[in-house]
Amino acid sequence: MPIAPLEPSSPPAVFDFLERHVSARGRAHWEWKYQLDGEGPARAFYHTGADGTVGGFVGTLPTTLHAPAQHARAAWFVDWATRPGEGSVGVGVALLRRAEAATDVLLTLQGSVDTQKILPKLRWNVVETPATWILRVSPRAIVTRGLLRRHPWLRALALLPGALVARNRRVTRVRSSPFALEEVERFPASYDARWEVRRPEFAPLMDRSSAQLNFLYADFPEGGYRRFLVREGADVVGHLVLRLDRKEDARRGRIIDALWPRARTGAVEWLVREACEILQERGVDYIECTASVADLERALGACRFARLRPVPVWYHRLPDGMATPDTWFITYLDCDRAYR
Amino acid sequence: MRDDIIAVFVLIFGRAPEQFGDDTAPANVEGWDSVRHVELVVALEERFGCMFEPDEVPELTSLARIEDILRRHG
């Protein structure tokens, strides 16, 4: 069979292909990402030509799409690459169709230039409701923009006003709140009962069970995430995931994912302010958040985040009656965008 | 069937029908790249009312192979 599932026993040439044509992450990364030590259905597929050459790869992040009245198997396709050259013509489409056959709803976020060219030809649709929001919090991040990015001598001059802006822009905590954060190593199985309560409040959205959150944010081999339970007194009422890393010599903070008691006035703004304060204390230059719903966007706006760019969601077929992705709750959790 | 397949090639690659024959392949048709192949696959499916299996898609690289595969689809 020219298309085969990725397994621990797959030929070394497949892992070489991943390192060369997808991302140089090392074998441990691929074993984690595609759960090669697990017993579930295959999450990734590769194509081999008649001469044994690996011609392409598609990898998915399986999940469940929960809507108010139904749920469906879903998967984000997160790695999609073919070997350059005419010998691989058609391999990418073949792999995409193989991935689509393994689930009910196949999706991707953003997409490379090639992906954006090919998917419309395959009759895929796109919505641009989610967006990345940004808050520049350090003087350096505030002045390293536009003209100032191109002219270092201007940047030096702008650092003082930048420091004043940064001081003014610093997000502060809500003085009094019934909520509190508890940092955890892993999300306990008991969190699933809370997830079941929150799910209808946020649907349509993808899986946020303790198993999925731990897979993404506790078991990730390269680390970098901080995980929190949101508490109200003795009760757990939601969660928060943050990430710190470096990008282009800057310290980047990200609000990766959160659920909160949605009907409670002020809960989401409290959560955003807490997240920002934790990241600011760690000295980040800027904070990013992907948001798709009005209440989270309002909270980000109240903290002076600016809408940076849309995050297109590409989708093909949806089950009958399923709402289109412009109504879904989407964060960095969706797809695999958080660690890029 | 061959004439119908060639009609799809004419539509996708914008060349005269007589320029497509048994030796037609990505190596000798200018512009037959991955993106154009997607257009070809979709156009063939629409013309012949079928859906190619994933393993068949990379095989659709000559008129003879396309004809073989389409005959399997009836």
Query: Cα separation of B37 and A2, whole Å?
Result: 18
Is B34 in Cβ contact with A89 (below 8 Å)?
yes
Query: Cα separation of A221 and A255, whole Å?
Result: 19
Q: What is the pLDDT of residue A303?
A: 96
Residue with tokens 């680390």: A223
Does the N-terminal peptide bond of residue A204 adopt cis geometry, omega within 30 degrees of 0?
yes
Q: Which residues of chain B have pLDDT under 50?
A: none
Q: What is the pLDDT of residue A38?
A: 80
Task: State the residue range of the domain holding B12.
Answer: 2-73
Most A CBs within 10 A among B57, B62, B69, hence the mutation to make, goes to B57
For A146, residues 6+ apart whose C-beta sits below 8 A from its C-beta are none
**A337 compared with A207, residue with greater pLDDT:** A207
Inter-chain CB pairs, A–B, below 8 Å: 61
Q: pLDDT digit string (tens) for A299-333?
A: 999 999 999 999 999 999 899 999 999 999 999 99
Single-letter code of the amino acid located at A17: F
Q: pLDDT digit string (tens) for A10-37?
A: 999 999 999 999 999 999 999 999 999 8
Q: Which residue of A has its CA nearest to B56?
A: A94
Q: Cβ contacts (< 8 Å) between A2 and chain B: which residues?
A: 55, 58
Q: Which of B27, B39, B55 sits opposite A94 (nearest CB)?
A: B55
B59 touches chain A (CB under 8 A): yes
Q: What is the pLDDT of residue A147?
A: 56
* Average pLDDT over chain A, rounded to an integer: 91
- Confidence label for A88 from pLDDT (cuts 50, 70 and 90): confident
Query: Cα separation of A6 and A36, whole Å?
Result: 8
Percent of chain A surpassing pLDDT 70? 92
For A292, residues 6+ apart whose C-beta sits below 8 A from its C-beta are A129, A130, A131, A328, A329, A330, A331
A98 touches chain B (CB under 8 A): yes
User: What total number of domains does chain B contain?
Assistant: 1
Q: What is the pLDDT of residue A314?
A: 95
Q: May I ask the CATH class of domain A131-310? A: alpha beta
Q: pLDDT digit string (tens) for A112-131?
A: 888 888 899 899 999 999 99
Q: What is the pLDDT of residue A40?
A: 85
Average pLDDT, integer, range A224-229 = 96
- Confidence label for A148 from pLDDT (cuts 50, 70 and 90): low
CATH of the domain at B17: 1.10.1200.10
Is A90 in Cβ contact with B55 (below 8 Å)?
no
- β-bridge pairing A105-109 and A71-82: parallel
Is A1 in Cβ contact with B34 (below 8 Å)?
no
A106 touches chain B (CB under 8 A): no
Q: Which residue of A has its CA nearest to B46?
A: A122
- Confidence label for A94 from pLDDT (cuts 50, 70 and 90): very high
Residue A337 has pLDDT above 80, yes or no: no
Residue A98 has pLDDT above 90, yes or no: yes
Q: What is the pLDDT of residue A141?
A: 77
Task: State the complex-level ipTM.
Answer: 0.84
Q: Cβ contacts (< 8 Å) between A90 and chain B: which residues?
A: 34, 37, 41, 57-61
Q: What is the pLDDT of residue A149?
A: 63
Q: What is the pLDDT of residue A203?
A: 96
Q: What is the pLDDT of residue A154?
A: 66
Q: What is the pLDDT of residue A86?
A: 62
* Average pLDDT over chain B, rounded to an integer: 90
CATH number for the domain whose boundaries are A3-127: 3.40.630.30
SS3 track for chain A: CCEEECCCCCCHHHHHHHHHHHCCCCHHHHHHHCCCCCCCCCCEEEEECCCCCEEEEEEEEEEEEECCCCEEEEEEEEEEEECCCHHHCCHHHHHHHHHHHCCCEEEEECCCHHHHHHHHHCCCEEECCCEEEEEECCHHHHHCCHHHHHCHHHHHHHHHHHHHHHHHHCCCCCCCCCEEEEEECCCCCCHHHHHHHHHHHHCCEECCCHHHHHHHHCCCCCCCEEEEEEEECCEEEEEEEEEEEEECCEEEEEEEEEECCCCCCCHHHHHHHHHHHHHHHCCCCEEEEEECCHHHHHHHHHCCCEEEEECCEEECCCCCCCCCHHHCECCCCCCCHHHC
Q: What is the pLDDT of residue A169?
A: 77
Average pLDDT, integer, range A74-84 = 91
Q: Tell me the pTM.
A: 0.90
Q: What residue ranges do the domains of chain A occupy?
A: 3-127, 131-310
Q: Cβ contacts (< 8 Å) between A118 and chain B: which residues?
A: 34-35, 38
